[in-house]
Amino acid sequence: MRIAIFGPNGPTGRRLTDQALAAAHEVVAVTRRSGSIPARPGLTVAVADATAPAAVDAAIDGTDAVLSALGARFSKQTITTYSASATAITGAMARHGIKRLLAVSSSIADPNWRPTGAHFFNHVLDPLVNRRLGRTLHEDMRRMEEVIRQTDLDWTLVRPSGLFEHPVVTAYHTAENSADGVFTARADLAAGMLHEMEERRYVRTAMGIITTAVQPNIAKLIWNEGVKKK
């Protein structure tokens, strides 16, 4: 399958690209930064701003599916990366007749998500980190989800919990809307997206995905994901 991946330079996008190539998919890595992705067999690099409709239109031409791993850092300012890119991508897909779309969102987008037994997370970390520091980011994720829901594409909104690095894929869990867990390894997120792309279990709904086999260091996670300059 020929796949367009948006956000291939990011930590999730790199995992997604590596795993897709290892699975013998052809990958079109769509990035704003010319020369930022080294050449590899099966990989084509398309230079495009994901929020620019004409550039996106050209980048995805000839692909069978689109996977978005675009991300943004926490900011007090209004964030539009997710919703603006979703508008450009879904419009281009409709024009080309490309139906399959998977876009990374967050468990936070589910208003009913509260991990079982995670008292410290639910009452301290979530209100502080996600609902306060990440408020503008998650607001735009919700706008992105609404843009995608209004299309007639075969979309899946992929909702990981707190993202962290782990070198290998584990026995991750998925569920409709959101999954009952606090953390998601990026290796598992990428593997779950590629599996769902073809299995189509969660078409036109959200897929929660979590990792339970390993757990990250919480302080390091907050620093790496919300504070450290990337």
Residue percentage of the chain with pLDDT more than 70: 88
Pick the closest to residue 210 from 166, 159, 168 (CA basis).
159
Pairing mode, strands 173-176 and 162-164? unpaired
In the structure, how many helices (H) and strands (E) does the chain have?
7, 10
Q: Say whether pTM exceeds 0.95.
A: no
Residue 5 has pLDDT above 50, yes or no: yes
Q: CA 57, CA 71: separation in Å to the nearest integer?
A: 20
Amino acid letter for position 53:
P
Compute the average pLDDT of residues 67-75.
90
Per-residue tokens: 7: 């956000």
Please compute the mean of the pLDDT values over residues 104-108 and round it to a whole number: 95
Does residue 223 or residue 72 have the better pLDDT? 72
For the chain, report the end-to-end CA distance as a whole number of angstroms.
31
**42, 27 Cβ separation under 8 angstroms:** yes
Q: Is the pLDDT at 230 greater than 50, yes or no? A: no
Taking the C-alpha atoms of residue 121 and residue 216, their distance in angstroms, rounded to an integer, is: 13
Task: Say yes or no to pLDDT of 229 above 70.
Answer: no
pLDDT at 141 exceeding the cut of 80: yes
